[in-house]
Amino acid sequence: MTDKNKSRSLWGDAWYRLRKNPGAMIGLVIVIIMVVVALLAPMIAPHDPYQAFMDKGLTNLGSPVGPSSFFPLGTDQNGRDLLSRLLYGARVSLTLGVVITTLNAFIGILVGVVAGYFGSWVDTLMMRLTDIVLAFPFLLFMIALLAVLQPGMKSIIIAFVAVGWAGYARLVRGQVLSVKETEYILASRAIGSSTSRIVFQHVLPNVIAPIIALFSLGISGVIIGEATISFLGLGIQQPQASWGNMIQSGASWMNTAPWLVFYPGLALLLTTVGFNLLGDGLRDALDPHLRR
């Protein structure tokens, strides 16, 4: 069997097991829906998410308005359509989730592969740096860093990437250590293959499976983290829509207008559950010990 057929069999088998996992498929459907909604937000949003409908006479006293035919999910206290802001908030959350997780994975893979493959003092230096990053309380470190930086998407990306890569580095380093002494790696060294060829053609393909699962789970973690930071007032700032700052601004209206918190909270819950279910399913589907 050729390497191409083996690769096809691996991923085909993983897809087969993923399809047999009801939770993973539910997560996949939720993720697809959320991604489509975020991409099509400008076309499906009924109103401008920044427009205050004061001319309707509905919010002239600064009070939210409940769901109606004109405002399917009601308005916030500033007269802005909640559904439109919810859809645009999905764009913010998913964009940050994908961008931050991709950067975390890239840096973590680079550090993990170098540390695991070369070993010696390189491994010691990089893993001690990783340990230092992992030792910091994540939320407190984020709050301190964002308090120094100017609030916004760029600051959130910098803060999350500053600490988020360490988990990937630790995972990849362990995977590289487990495969670098296998027979096919030793054979590649014996025939004079370059280090880059060994890493890209033999090492990385054999450690990519757990990274894919961690990537899905990582997006969920970033979305929750961004919502937490925005809720505390250090993340996405008004008037830009974010699920976190929508919950924060609606918290004071819980008794009279609970929909201000319920709908963004529900969107946050469904999105994170979807990515978590998909990540768990990918982890099980790509586990080599479960292959028959």
Q: How confident is the model at residue 56, as a pLDDT?
A: 52
Helix H segments across 40-152?
A: 41-44, 82-118, 120-135, 138-148
* Interacting residues of 36 by C-beta distance below 8 A, sequence separation 6+: none
Q: Domain range spanning residue 156? A: 13-45+79-290
pTM above 0.95, yes or no: no
Q: How confident is the model at residue 88, as a pLDDT?
A: 92
**In-domain check, residue 97:** yes
**With 50 as the cut, is the pLDDT of residue 84 above it?**
yes
**26/8 Cα distance (integer angstroms):** 25
**In-domain check, residue 181:** yes
Nearest residue to 100 (alpha-carbon basis) of 209, 213, 221, 210: 221
* Helices vs. strands in the chain: H and E counts, helices first: 12, 0
Long-range contacts, 162-166 (Cβ 8 Å, 24+): 162/133, 163/133, 163/136, 163/138, 164/100, 164/101, 164/103, 164/104, 164/218, 164/222, 165/103, 165/104, 165/105, 165/107, 165/108, 165/111, 165/133, 166/108, 166/130, 166/133, 166/134
Lowest mean pLDDT among 66-80, 113-127, 194-208, 266-280: 194-208
Average pLDDT over residues 224-244: 86
**In-domain check, residue 5:** no
**26/123 Cα distance (integer angstroms):** 40
Confidence of residue 2 (pLDDT cuts 50, 70, 90): very low
Confidence of residue 36 (pLDDT cuts 50, 70, 90): very high
Q: What is the CATH number of the domain that holds 273?
A: 1.10.3720.10
Confidence of residue 1 (pLDDT cuts 50, 70, 90): very low
The CB-side HSE value for 26 (13 A sphere, CA atoms) comes to 9
Q: Where are the beta strands (DSSP E) in the chain?
A: none
**In-domain check, residue 154:** yes
Average pLDDT over residues 201-205: 76
Domain count, the chain: 1
